[in-house]
Each structure stands twice: as structure tokens, then as C-alpha cells.
Amino acid sequence: MATENKTAELTEIEQFRKDHGLSIKEERPLTTLNLGPTHPATHGIFQNILQMDGEVIVDAVPTIGYIHRAFEKIAERRPFYQITPLTDRMNYCSSPINNMGYHMTVEKLLGITVPKRAQYIRVIMMELARISDHLICNSILGVDSGAFTGFLYVMQEREHIYDIYEEVCGARLTTNMGRIGGMERDLSPKALHLIDEFLKRFPKVWAEFEKMLTRNRIFIDRTVGVGAISAERALSYGFTGPNLRATGVDYDVRVMNPYSSYDDFEFEIPVGSKGDTYDRYLVRNEEVWQSLKIIEQAYKNLPEGSYHADAPHYYLPPKQKVYTSMEALIYHFKIVMGEIEAPVGEVYHSVEGGNGELGFYLISDGGRTPYRLHFRRPCFIYYQSYTELIKGGQLADAILTLSSLNVIAGELDA
């Protein structure tokens, strides 16, 4: 009778201790630990106030919004072409995907069809961006589990990808690549050469990197079963992208709602089974190989033709024409001054970003700026599961879980 009474009086913390095989009787107080906002292991500005019982995390309260820049509000005051630089700064590890996603949304609103060549160039750039995104995520995962070398090794390759961006659009990190209606310039011979070089060199580098981690005993011990989530919970939490596929759900926007000619290419969607850190690593790893396959196909079959749509109202005319033709001068002036009116409409377009379904919900009231532009940011949506993922685990595992989710602060806070 006495024991029964005692069970009934268990506090939440005592119950937790019991569930995790810890001594209930021990009367040590919980430690409050501030993980972040600027912690070197969190790779971005995230704060988590942890309640720790020794090394075990009992509770976590995430605080977000440290780099909130009100992009949705700013977008309501800007002409359409000036919103592209805002999208750069969301997931800054794969800016071209954000840029292209936004361009395609506006093109959907305006009813512009982009020529095949431009679509293929976009696919090449988007897949390069995906590689650079996954490359950072997986190599950081290595760093957090104690393997620094691989990170520096593949970082060099990211620089080569940025060289390609630089040749295509002039910028490296926040790219502002392409325009509404296509690309701003064709792929130059140098860009083609760089892509070709990359396709030859990168598989060797990636194979070496893979060899270092995939069957590494320490890495497997640190990651298998850490931060696992079931497919049902993941869907309820709105997971998309590699994190969802690691749980075994084969949802990929590129296949389900193909955009920008993705249905022309052959590639596979890797899926995991357990949804833990190791599966997320494997899925990203395999996606890099699939992205390479897509780039190769797009590069080999790059169609001839124009690199932009014929949409003089929305697409800037070439500079020479601005000085020689009246019409081009007028369009140039109107576009640059933001005096182009978009039709009334409401569109949603989503692309497969580095972290999942990156959606743009755009309402236009016929004005020069969007009436409402809402970003569906995958990081923001799945980061709320972080508390659930790390509860009952150890602090060191929480760090690994955070880096394997690939939460990018810019996308989280927008």
C-alpha cells in the first residue's frame, strides 16, 4: 500500500527518471544549461534552454528569431525582381534553389513559359546547390562527431561550386541568380568548362569522404539510433526533404510535382528506414550521387535555344538595345523603377530545397508588389520537433541531432 502511494505521488521529473532507468530517489536538482544562442557547436544562432539531469536532457525549450529580418513584410513593399535577394538569405547554403523557386513562382503568376535551355541551366545550378548544401551538412556532422579532416577536404569542393556560381551570376554565396523569365546570361564557355571539371573531379572526392564516415566504427556508434523519429511523427511534424526520406517516406517534390523539366532526368530517391541521424546522413550522401547524375544528364543534353523567355514586360532587355531602341529603353526604365504591374492572382509553387519542400505562396492584387508573400520554410517547420528528438538523450547527441537536421538559421527565422 505504501509503495502504491509513492508511485502516485511521482512528479513529472521522477517519472521521467524512472522511464529512463535513472534512480528516482536521488534528490539532485536539475541543471539548467543554456545551449546557445552563440555556441560553436550549433552552427548558427539557436538557443535551447536545457534541463539536464547529469548528462541526460530532461527538457528543452528552443528560442528562435535571433536573426529574424521580416522578409515577408519587406516583400510587400518591393517590386518583384527585388525580392530575389531576400530569398538568397533564407537557406544561404543553397541560395540558387531559393532564387529559382521564387522566379518560378512569379513566372507561374505571370504565365511565362521558360525555354528548355533555361530550365536545364536552372536544373544544373539547383543540383549544384543541393550538393553544396548536403556537403556542408554531412561534413559538419563529421566535425561534430570528431572528424575534422573531411570537412576541410570537401569545403574545397564547395569553393569550386562557388566558382561556378561566380561564373554564372557574379556572386558566390548570396547569388541572386537568374531572373524572372530565365537566366540573366547564357552559360559561358568557362562555366561549361568548370562544370565539366567538377563532374570529373568531385566523384573521387566524395567517394573518399564517404569512405571516411559511412563504415567508420566511431561514427556509426555515435549516430545510429540517435535522434530517431518515426514516419508518422515526422509527417505530423511536417517534415519534408532528406529528413522525411530518412524515415522511409519517399516524398520528393522533384518527382511528385516536377518543375523545370525534372521529369526529363533519370534519378532515384534514396530513402532510409529508422529516421535517425545515421539514416539522415546516408540519405544526404546518396542524394549527392543522384544530383551528380542529374547534372551529368543535363550537361550532356543541354538543349540549344534561348536562355530566357520572350517576355519583354518582365525580363530586362540587353543593355545594347537599351541605348539603341526606344521600346527597350522604356521597358528597361519601367522594370528597374518597379513600375511593372503583375496580374491579379494567387499561386503556390514549391521546389525541393536542400532541406525539403520550399514553398512560395504569393497573392497579387494587381499591384507592383506582392500583396502577400508567404514562405514555407522547411527548417522552421521541422525544427519544432527538436525538443522531442533530444529528450532522454545525451547532450553530445543533441549536438549531432541538430547538425543532422541541417537547421539553417536564415531559413528558420526568415
Residue ranges in contact with another protein by CB under 8 A: 64-65, 68, 70, 72-74, 76-77, 108, 233, 235-238, 249, 251, 256-257, 345-348, 350, 357, 359, 361, 363, 372, 374, 376, 380-385, 413-414
Min dist CB 86 to another protein, Å, is 13
Between 202 and 314, name the residue whose CB sits nearer to another protein: 314
Q: Which amino acid is at 6?
A: K
Helix 395-405 vs helix 116-144: angle between axes, to the nearest 10 degrees?
Answer: 170
What 3-state DSSP class applies to 231? helix
Beta bridge partners of 179: 182
Between 116 and 233, name the residue whose CB sits nearer to another protein: 233
Between 124 and 234, name the residue whose CB sits nearer to another protein: 234
Min dist CB 132 to another protein, Å, is 26
The helix, strand and coil proportions of the chain, stated in percent and rounded to the nearest 5, come to: 50, 10, 35
Peptide bond into 37 cis (omega under 30): yes
Task: Give the number of other CB atoms < 10 A from CB of residue 249.
Answer: 17
Between 56 and 86, name the residue whose CB sits nearer to another protein: 86
Min dist CB 77 to another protein, Å, is 5
Task: Give the number of other CB atoms < 10 A from CB of residue 330.
Answer: 13
| Strand ordering across the sheet containing 47-53 | 31-35, 47-53, 56-63
Min dist CB 388 to another protein, Å, is 8
Min dist CB 249 to another protein, Å, is 7
Beta bridge partners of 57: 52
Between 162 and 361, name the residue whose CB sits nearer to another protein: 361
Min dist CB 283 to another protein, Å, is 17
Task: Give the number of other CB atoms < 10 A from CB of residue 316.
Answer: 19
Between 65 and 146, name the residue whose CB sits nearer to another protein: 65
